[in-house]
Amino acid sequence: MASVTQAPVPARVVLNQADIDRALTRIAHEILESNKGSRDLVLLGIPRRGYPLAVRLAQKIAAADPDVDPAAIVGQLDVTMFRDDLSHQPTRPPYPTQLPLTGIDNKVVVLIDDVLYSGRTIRAALDAIIDLGRPRIVRLAVLIDRGHRELPIRADHVGKNLPTSSAEKVRVRLEETDSRDGEPINEVVIEAGA
Amino acid sequence: MVSNNGAYLIRGAAILDGAKEDLLIRDGFIVDRGVNINADGATVIEGDGLVALPGMVDVHTHLREPGREDAETVETGTRAAALGGFTAVHAMANSTPVADTAGVVEQVHSLGQTAGWVDVRPVGAVTVGLAGEQLAELGAMADSRAQVRMFSDDGLCVHDPVLMRRALEYVKAFDGVVAQHAQEPRLTEGAQMNEGDVSAVLGLAGWPAVAEESIIARDVLLTQHVGSRLHVCHVSTAGSVEIIRWAKARGINVTAEVTPHHLLLTDELVRSYDPVYKVNPPLRTDADVQALRAALADGTIDVVGTDHAPHPSEHKECEWAQAAMGMTGLETALSVVQQTMIETGLMSWSDFARVTSTAPAVIGRLADQGRPLETGEPANIILVDPAARWTVDPSAMATMGRNSPFAGRELPGKVVATFFKGHPTVLDGKLNTPYRAAAVQHPVQAAGPVSGL
Amino acid sequence: MRHLLSTEDLSLHNAKRILDTAEEMAAVGEREVKKLPALRGRTVVNLFFEDSTRTRISFEAAAKRLSADVINFAAKGSSVSKGESLKDTAQTLAAMGADAVVIRHWASGAPHRLAATDWIDAAVINAGDGTHEHPTQALLDAFTMRRHWAKLGGLPSTGADLKGMRVAIAGDVLHSRVARSNVWLLRTLGAQVTLVAPPTLLPIGVEQWPCSVSYDLDETLEKGVDAVMMLRVQGERMNASFFPSTREYSRRWGFDDNRLRTLDRIGLKDTIIMHPGPMNRGLEISAAAADSHRSTVLSQVRNGVSVRMAALYLLLSGETREPAANLSKESN
């Protein structure tokens, strides 16, 4: 998790606020296009930063389709308990899982996360979803795909493909979850590895 | 270190708090004391930096034999005693069988003689089987070869007031003393630790101070009434000190003992639930510790008794409530008393000799123990290095018990040498050889009636 | 947190962490699939030296919902008839690869012994030891109170504390591990606790505890109280003269129908009545009180599973054996 300070590590901004916004607008339209409309759509954000991205996407979808109530199609899906690295990381308290009132049975669920990397988080998310219901389709939308997959998983919608070395760190900072010097901040940076 | 003629010259040790002098020991006695004594073939022991003290006398030792040789034997317990600076110990009666007959006390006495590390003075049980119902044959034990003078049901209280009265009366016939383990049994049913702030939090059944104090109050009054002699074992509370002080002021013939652990440790240690801190009477509060120190310094409490109570490790490696009560103490007593009484400025080495040697010998009626370090006196002497510091390691001790509450602590003071009847049982801080009666010309003096305490 | 032994040394941070996690666990309990894979491959041993079917099945349900393997070990052994020693039992469990030991013991401090010795290197959870502590009971009580208190305040439970809440705990405090654990935890969470008991059933030293003490239940109710927790009283205490008769006890210190009416009379409509169970109906609590809408007895049971899931998850899911470095990429 990024704690935002005057970083001693060299950091390169790859997406600024406007870039992020443009990427989300494009993803929102892609989602509507591949779903042929907003019917049965449910956006599930993966904590922490997938959830605010899901909320933003829902708003963009609602902007494109006035029939959509953005609050009614967004949920949060916590995958902590389903991770395969629980015993290799410090203990993490779970985040709440909140589904839209409609549930997810027979819905088109779009999982939203900030960065796609090894694919293990998404694997956990797929398991978590199955314990909650049976969606008709599950798709994946991410802001950044940085490569280095360890599982046969790919994203349906990608904000930006970002070739990285595995030593580098990709930091997504969103105003809903991050700030710098008390100021909300929206950007994606690459930090050189140690 | 072997001497040719069995003589030893301690050169230049401080005699208690006094100046450095030499002590020449031969044939079981101090044959000369002074400066620049000619060694004359005696083995010389450099005493520079050391303090010479009379051998310590423990009024309260559990040697466990007969019956619990898995916990301690007379041999191992008296080795520990010699290393700890003792030249006499009183072996408590709660063996199996109980030391309530002449036969058992003679057996323990003779095991002590065979071992040869210290004088072993058996304590006789007050009641048959420690059952608190019927007087044991106190007279037979007094008249036996063990010449028992101290009687105690220690571990249990003689709580029946009539029985206690009779015991106090009866021992007058042979100048005996009843050593009472003061614990009102009904007030301490299931008791696990001192009753107070800590027991409230830990949820361990309390052992209230009043259970000790009420028995002491009763017993000093009984002692006054029948004109006998009472010794109070292991006094542990400030209230007990007040009662004993009051009794002494009234001229009641009562003596009292405190253990080294009650001079240093408090019930705060029980928070660990480590049964190494489980003991009877229990560790009390800091206020009690301070009162006990003051009482030992001002003479209200007469002696230090170790209540050395070794237990096999399985009796301590368990839940608190399941664990046996008791702590080892012979090999740490001197150091703990030095730390709590001498390094605090409450006592001098002369006071130390009084509470660890002179007074205990008088209480137990040991004529040749606790004597001054003078020419012509029996050579029961220890040499102590008060500047030494050591870390307590129970596994390195001579006692079979590993249950030292001081484990891991750094303590001051080390016994460098112990002379028992003129023979070095300990030299250079290590066990030497036991005393053998045949090697000495003079017969051991019999303990006779002594007036005073 | 390596073990959960007592609430006395449980920090506010850790207490809230357990309660907040329990909120998420409670959500799982409401789903169709009431199971999480979080502790797959882990072994939890319920080591019970004292019978307690309720506590054992609660821990068992908690462990199973987290996909742990559960071994129930009923080690009967009283102070009189010593069976296998705690040390040997612990070493046996260690050899069987136990990752956590949930221990219920009649001896105060037994869980501390397991945690402090090298007999076993597992997480130790105290499921009630003698008259010392019962931390998961206090946590489920606090969880129940917090849901109630946050709802009254119009706040979400998660992240909330119990500041300002007035809690009376009435009954046999002297012999109660539940009372002890609750006093410490409720203090940590900011509630004001009053212990109500006959003087014989309060420990010497209680005046040092962070709570007030009263001998008068009616007076305590009249002063205003948001939760009343009744403690189980064993009728046999009467034989040891802790009180003259069960009738006198329940008249003075039991939550009877009159006291239930008192709450209504003085307008305490939101006051809840709690009991850790099992109840002695008619002794410390009347049937009407136990079955009233104020009673939280069944929510307490339900919440017990969530709180125990949280405790097991937080103790068992962290880094355990090897450093994480070579095993995982940064977890994006």
Supply the ipTM of this predicted assembly. 0.92
Radius of gyration in angstroms for the set of CA atoms belonging to chain C, rounded to a whole number = 20
Rounded Cα–Cα distance for residues A160 and A93 (Å): 30
Rounded Cα–Cα distance for residues B62 and B314 (Å): 18
Mind listing the pLDDT tens digit for each residue in B230-260? 999 999 999 999 999 999 999 999 999 999 9
Least CB-CB distance to A88: which of C21, C319, C332? C319
pLDDT of residue C318: 76
B8-52+376-388+397-439: CATH superfamily: Urease, subunit C, domain 1 (2.30.40.10)
DSSP string, A139-164: EEEEEEE----SSS---SEEEEE---
- If you measure CA to CA, which chain C residue comes closest to B317? C87
And the tokens for C272? 């809840």
**Helical axes C12-29 vs C135-152, angle rounded to 10°:** 80
Across all residues in chain B, what is the average pLDDT? Answer: 95
Chain C residues touching residue B198 (CB < 8 angstroms): 205
For residue B263, with 0-12 CB atoms within 10 Å meaning exposed, 13-18 middle and 19 or more buried, which class applies? Answer: buried
Distances, alpha carbon C76 to alpha carbons A102, B319, B377, C49, C129, in Å:
51, 14, 61, 5, 14
Chain B residues touching residue C79 (CB < 8 angstroms): 321-322
Residues whose CB is less than 8 angstroms from the CB of residue C248 and which lie 6 or more positions away in sequence, other chains included? none
Rounded Cα–Cα distance for residues B331 and B318 (Å): 25
Residue B174 near residue B201, CB atoms below 8 Å: no
For residue A113, is it within any domain?
A: yes
And the tokens for C269? 């409509």
And the tokens for B60? 């309260």
Chain A: touching chains (3 or more CB pairs < 8 Å): C
B55-364: CATH superfamily: Metal-dependent hydrolases (3.20.20.140)
Rounded Cα–Cα distance for residues B235 and B36 (Å): 44
For residue A2, is it within any domain?
A: no
CB atoms inside a 10 Å sphere around CB B381? 27
Question: Which residue ranges make up each domain of chain B?
Answer: 8-52+376-388+397-439, 55-364
Rounded Cα–Cα distance for residues C146 and C163 (Å): 10
Quote the number of domains for chain A: 1
Block means of pLDDT (10 residues each) for chain C, 332 residues, are 95 97 92 90 94 94 97 69 78 93 96 95 96 98 98 95 97 97 98 98 97 97 97 83 92 96 95 95 95 96 97 86 38 44
Q: What is the average pLDDT across B69-95? A: 98
DSSP string, C249-273: HHHHHSB-HHHHHHHHHTT-TT-EE
In the three-class reduction of DSSP (H, G, I as helix; E, B as strand; rest coil), residue C286 is classed as: coil
Residues whose CB is less than 8 angstroms from the CB of residue B132 and which lie 6 or more positions away in sequence, other chains included? B153, B156, B157, B158, B159, B160, B163
Contact A89 C331 (CB under 8 A): yes
Contact A88 C328 (CB under 8 A): yes
Range of A23's domain? 11-191
Domains of chain C: 12-134+302-316 (3.40.50.1370), 135-301 (3.40.50.1370)
Residue C288 near residue C254, CB atoms below 8 Å: no
For residue A29, is it within any domain?
A: yes
Rounded Cα–Cα distance for residues B51 and B385 (Å): 6
Task: Kindly report whether the peptide bond that precedes residue B66 is cis, defined as omega within 30 degrees of 0.
Answer: yes
Chain position carrying tokens 């700890």 = B84
Q: What is the average pLDDT across B97-125? A: 97
For residue A56, is it within any domain?
A: yes
For residue A91, is it within any domain?
A: yes
Mind listing the pLDDT tens digit for each residue in C118-175? 999 999 999 999 999 999 999 999 999 999 999 999 999 999 999 999 999 999 999 9
- If you measure CA to CA, which chain C residue comes closest to B315? C85
For residue A3, is it within any domain?
A: no
pTM for this structure? 0.90
Residue B82 near residue B418, CB atoms below 8 Å: yes
Chain A residues touching residue C32 (CB < 8 angstroms): 133
CB atoms inside a 10 Å sphere around CB B155? 20
Find the CATH number of the domain harbouring A134. 3.40.50.2020
Q: Touch between chain A and chain B (3+ CB pairs, < 8 Å)? A: no
